[in-house]
Amino acid sequence: MRFVLIGIGAVGGTVAARLAAAGEDVLAVARGAHARAVQEDGLRLATPDGVLHVRLPVVADPSHLDLHDGDVLVLAVKGQHTQAVLEALPLRAADLPVLCLQNGVANEALALRRHRAVHGVCVALPALHTEPGHVAVFIRPSAVLDVGRYPAGSDAVDTEVAGRWSAAGLLTRVRDDVMAWKHRKLLSNLGNAVEALTGTGLQGEQRDAVRRLHRLALAEGEDVLSAAGRPLVDEDAWAREVADAWRLAEVPGVTRGGGSTWQSLLRGAGSVEADQLNGEVVLAARLLGRDAPINELLRREVVDAATHRLPPGSVDAVALLARASALLGEGPGGDNSGPR
């Protein structure tokens, strides 16, 4: 079995480095300065327990892949890039299993249009990628991952992947209902836009405003997904099986910073995956004939920030909360004192 990691940023880079260090056969797809750095000097993964420095072959474009029986494709690009990657893959790829090592719940359906065997992977992996050739991961073990067939069930590929990845330091479990876990993870990612827009390390009323915005986005998201009948594990199961399975830890010499959307703004990437996160809630609501005003506000604001290449922390949290509260007919602090 060879793992073809398509995207070796924070998540894909952590998985690729761990697998390569464990002796697994790994081929990476990367682009730009990151690809050149890995080609020239390898991939460095900083962990709480030291730095892994691995050498692995890198292809600059998915269309250049020379694929074989036994390959497993691992999509680790952000959701806004999934369609383009799928279109670029060689025709041979349609017969190979595809693992969506991605946030959001829309990638699997896109892949299933082209690939016979699609697997979802629910990702818990706080990592950082802001410098070419370098990735840092801030938990022990290096990841908590859940894998299963899409839309449901599991097979021998899931079992083998779970065994190999766990042996490499990536705790991986097989789930017959993996999309229920991915929907719960989606809810936890709705605050990514808030963090990216308002920044990290806030105090006082700014921190309180951020917490309130997180709660509003999460409550709206859970209400919409439940009304839409989406599969969703409960909070207790998530806490017991995922949140309690890893521990945050400092990485010497590396400041953690923010999550994936924050990192996209920091790098000036020009796009974010908000359409696949907050936008998923908006879509589900509209299919029900409803609105999801909080998640639509966050989606629009962070997409605009990315388009104009604004840095993280460009938006005042208190002002953003006031706008959100107005959409709900509440007072500025969310106290229901405004007009309804």
For residue 335, pLDDT beyond 70: no
Is domain 2-176 classified as CATH 3.40.50.720?
yes
* pLDDT on residue 330: 75
Q: Classify residue 27 by its DSSP letter.
A: E
User: How many CB atoms within 10 Å of residue 247?
Assistant: 10
Mean pLDDT across the stretch 134-147?
97
For residue 172, pLDDT beyond 60: yes
Contact 88, 61 (CB under 8 A): yes
User: How many CB atoms within 10 Å of residue 201?
Assistant: 9
Q: How far apart are CA 195 and CA 93, in angstroms?
A: 36
Contact 210, 195 (CB under 8 A): yes
How big is the chain by its Cα radius of gyration, in Å?
20
* pTM, full prediction: 0.94
Residues with Cβ within 8 Å of residue 253, at least 6 apart in sequence: 46
pLDDT digits (tens, 9 = 90+) for 243-276: 999 999 999 999 999 999 999 999 999 999 999 9
Could you tell me where the beta strands, DSSP code E, fall in the chain?
2-6, 25-29, 43-47, 50-54, 58-59, 71-75, 98-101, 118-124, 127-131, 134-137, 139-140, 144-149, 171-174, 247-248
Instruction: Name the maximum alpha-carbon separation found in the chain.
Output: 63
Q: 154-184: b or e for each residue (b if 16 or more CB lie within 10 Å)?
A: beebbeebbebbeebbbbbbbbebbbbbbbb
Write down the mean pLDDT value for the chain. Answer: 95
* pLDDT on residue 339: 27
Domain extent listing, the chain: 2-176, 183-232+254-327
pLDDT digits (tens, 9 = 90+) for 27-84: 999 999 999 999 999 999 999 999 999 999 999 999 999 999 999 999 999 999 999 9
For residue 133, pLDDT beyond 80: yes
Q: Which CATH class is domain 183-232+254-327?
A: mainly alpha
Q: How many residues in the chain? A: 340
